[in-house]
């Protein structure tokens, strides 16, 4: 993990000068505490001539060490600095002050993974005294980050024990927090301990933004209904999910659910993973996916043809199946044209002489697929025709494709292309050319 030491040191400096803790640290953000802890001990805090740490150069703070040891009353900020002090004896002496300043519990969590064993042991004893289930929920984002450190497992194990059997209303914030690590932890526990119903897990799998959470919940939902066979409540959300991995889990589950025929809808899915799962399921149900694809691709003018049908045919077909793909290059839907080109590449049937005119296609996705198909034989595309496509009046996706193909030709053609796009209005194209010129030393 990268730690922003200068930012942490700046926060520590403000605290040492008397600023309130809430003014320099965001108590709800775990990285804020980690930065502060590291920043207090950062080498560049030391004055270049006096060689003194900041806390010994700030008025009234030279006696911090003595004050901690003597039991004198300390302000919240002073205790925070002492808990992060370079001297392990000072850190250990400050641990007992956290009981009077609960907001500093995050620093106590950090000290539980301290590199000095006496500090570590004392901090763990204090945390066991002060931590309860409610506080564990609030500290969990930091606890999970500290767990990755050497000696960092104690606080996580303590929190696990405290949250075991905790009421659902206490755990509820963990499922909706923006912190990714915490959501993963919460849903992993939910799956392992059966805290959420299969239907709830399926809905989370369909909507969560984190891939790990989606997989956890999809697999957990299906595992929970495998013995009962009650798939109806989970298949709907899984099959409608945006994530290909979640959809594929739902499609695969159609077989044990006794509904393999429903997988035919997904034979033309936009995801290759989902299409492959659908082919497996329909075969198990006695349906030939290749015949299904061939039948659907037989009408090149069908406006309702799903784009994935063309590439799906190629994925399970043979070279002769390229024949119905060529007419699809004239389909009115750009996504169908693009997938037809992709299918020709899969079948190793891409004829460069027939494909390169499609570099003028108005749909960027089609041009991207054509570029990939043409690239191995870029020399077969007329140079003058490609140079003309670098013109400012051409769409950006056409200019990018022409530039890439000209680069592939190498030599003087490559250099002329680099010069031609130097002032191109497309920032991405200019930046790419600049990087190449910098690498080759050409201006």
What are the distances in angstroms from CA 194 to CA 43, 164, 198, 199? Answer: 48, 12, 9, 12
Is residue 95 domain-resident? yes
- Mean pLDDT across the chain, nearest whole number? 90
Is residue 303 domain-resident? no
Is residue 148 domain-resident? no
Q: Which of 328, 299, 296, 323 is nearest to 309 (CA)?
A: 296
What is residue 165's predicted lDDT score, i.e. its pLDDT? 87
Residue 284 has pLDDT above 60, yes or no: yes
What is residue 12's predicted lDDT score, i.e. its pLDDT? 83
HEC assignment per residue over the chain:
CCCCHHHHHHHHHHHHCCCCHHHHCCCCCHHHHHHHHHHHCCHHHCCCCCCCCHHHCCCCCCCHHHHHHHCCCCCHHHHHHHHCCCCHHHHHHHHHHHHHCHHHHHHHHHHCCCCCHHHHHHHHHHHHHHCCHHHHHHHHHHHHHHCCCCCCHHHHHHHHHHHCCCCHHHHHHHHHCCCHHHHHHHHHHHHHHCCCCHHHHHHHHHHCCCHHHHHHHHHHHHHHHHCCCCCHHHHHHHHCCCCHHHHHHHHHHCCCCCCHHHHHHHHHCCCHHHHHHHHHHHHHCCCCHHHHHHHHHCCCCCCCCCCHHHHHHHHHCCHHHHHHHHHHHHCCCHHHHHHHHHHHHHCCCCCHHHHHHHHHCCCHHHHHHHHHHHHHHHHHCCHHHHHHCCCCCCCHHHHHHHHHHHHHHCHHHHHHHHHHCCCCCCHHHHHHHHHHHHHHCCC
Is residue 153 domain-resident? no
Mean local confidence (pLDDT), 91-95: 91
Burial (CB < 10 A; 0-12, 13-18, 19+), residue 440, is: exposed
Domain boundary among 87, 102, 130: 130
Is residue 416 domain-resident? yes
What confidence tier does 231 reach under pLDDT thresholds 50, 70, 90?
very high
What confidence tier does 1 reach under pLDDT thresholds 50, 70, 90?
low
Mean local confidence (pLDDT), 348-373: 95
What confidence tier does 143 reach under pLDDT thresholds 50, 70, 90?
very high
Residue 126 has pLDDT above 90, yes or no: yes
pLDDT in tens, 426-443: 899 988 888 888 887 554
What confidence tier does 18 reach under pLDDT thresholds 50, 70, 90?
confident
Which of 13-17, 87-91, 146-150 holds the top average pLDDT? 146-150
What is residue 436's predicted lDDT score, i.e. its pLDDT? 86
What confidence tier does 103 reach under pLDDT thresholds 50, 70, 90?
very high
Mean local confidence (pLDDT), 248-265: 96
pLDDT in tens, 286-332: 999 999 999 999 999 899 999 999 999 999 999 999 999 999 999 99
Least confident of 181-195, 250-264, 284-298, 426-440: 426-440
What is residue 58's predicted lDDT score, i.e. its pLDDT? 44
pLDDT in tens, 201-226: 999 999 999 999 999 999 999 999 98
Mean local confidence (pLDDT), 243-272: 96
- Greater confidence (270 vs 12) lies with 270
Least confident of 80-94, 176-190, 250-264: 80-94
| Domain total in the chain | 2
What is residue 43's predicted lDDT score, i.e. its pLDDT? 57
Is residue 140 domain-resident? no
Is residue 175 domain-resident? no
Least confident of 12-21, 143-152, 239-248, 316-325: 12-21
- Residue 35's domain comprises 1-130
Cβ neighbours of residue 169 under 8 Å, at least 6 residues apart? none
- Greater confidence (25 vs 63) lies with 25
Question: What are the phi and psi torsion angles at 230 (to 5°)?
Answer: -85, 70
What is residue 51's predicted lDDT score, i.e. its pLDDT? 40
Record the tokens describing residue 350, joined without a space.
């891409």
What are the distances in angstroms from CA 177 to CA 209, 248, 347? Answer: 12, 27, 46
Mean local confidence (pLDDT), 140-156: 95
Domain boundary among 77, 100, 130: 130
Question: What are the phi and psi torsion angles at 301 (to 5°)?
Answer: -100, 5
pLDDT in tens, 26-84: 888 999 999 999 888 875 544 444 344 554 544 334 556 667 766 677 888 889 998 99
Is residue 157 domain-resident? no
- Cα separation, 435 vs 414, in Å, equals 14
Mean local confidence (pLDDT), 105-117: 96
State what percent of residues in the chain have pLDDT above 90. Answer: 70
Mean local confidence (pLDDT), 4-32: 85
Domain boundary among 130, 148, 179: 130
Least confident of 50-54, 244-248, 406-410: 50-54
């Amino acid at each position: 993990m990268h730690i922003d030491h200068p930012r942490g040191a700046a926060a520590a400096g403000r605290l040492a000068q008397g600023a309130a803790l809430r003014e320099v640290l965001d108590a709800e953000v775990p990285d804020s505490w980690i930065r502060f802890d590291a920043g207090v001990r950062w080498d560049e805090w030391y004055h270049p001539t006096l060689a003194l740490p900041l806390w010994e150069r700030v008025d009234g703070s030279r006696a911090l060490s003595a004050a901690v040891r003597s039991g004198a009353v300390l302000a919240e900020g002073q205790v925070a600095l002492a808990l992060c002090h370079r001297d392990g004896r000072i850190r250990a002496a400050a641990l007992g002050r956290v009981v009077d300043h609960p907001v500093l519990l995050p620093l106590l969590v950090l000290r539980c993974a301290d590199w000095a064993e006496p500090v570590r042991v004392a901090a763990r004893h204090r945390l066991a005294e002060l931590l309860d289930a409610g506080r564990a929920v609030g500290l969990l984002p930091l606890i999970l980050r500290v767990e990755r450190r050497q000696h960092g497992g104690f606080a996580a194990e303590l929190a696990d024990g405290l949250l075991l059997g905790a009421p659902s209303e206490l755990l509820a914030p963990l499922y909706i927090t923006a912190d990714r690590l915490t959501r993963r932890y919460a849903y992993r526990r939910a799956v392992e301990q059966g805290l959420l119903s299969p239907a709830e897990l399926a809905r989370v799998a369909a909507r969560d933004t984190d891939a790990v959470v989606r997989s956890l919940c999809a697999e957990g939902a299906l595992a929970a209904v495998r013995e009962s066979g009650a798939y109806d409540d989970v298949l709907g959300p899984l099959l409608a999910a945006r994530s290909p991995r979640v959809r594929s889990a739902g499609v695969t589950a159609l077989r044990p659910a006794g509904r393999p025929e429903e997988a035919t809808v997904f034979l033309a899915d936009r995801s290759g993973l989902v299409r492959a799962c659908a082919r497996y399921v329909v075969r198990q149900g006695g349906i030939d996916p290749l015949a299904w694809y061939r039948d659907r691709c037989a009408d090149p003018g069908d406006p309702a043809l799903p784009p994935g049908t063309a590439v799906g045919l190629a994925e399970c077909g043979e070279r002769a199946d390229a024949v119905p793909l060529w007419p699809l290059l004239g389909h009115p839907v750009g996504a169908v044209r693009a997938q037809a080109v992709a299918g020709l590449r899969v079948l190793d049937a891409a004829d460069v002489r027939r494909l390169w005119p499609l570099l003028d296609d108005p749909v960027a996705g089609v041009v991207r697929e054509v570029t990939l198909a043409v690239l191995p034989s870029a020399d077969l595309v007329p140079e003058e025709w490609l140079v003309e496509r670098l013109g400012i009046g051409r769409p950006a996706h056409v200019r990018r494709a022409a530039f890439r193909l000209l680069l592939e030709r190498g030599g003087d053609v490559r250099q002329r292309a680099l010069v031609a796009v130097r002032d191109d209005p497309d920032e991405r194209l200019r930046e790419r050319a600049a990087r190449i010129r910098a690498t080759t030393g050409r201006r």
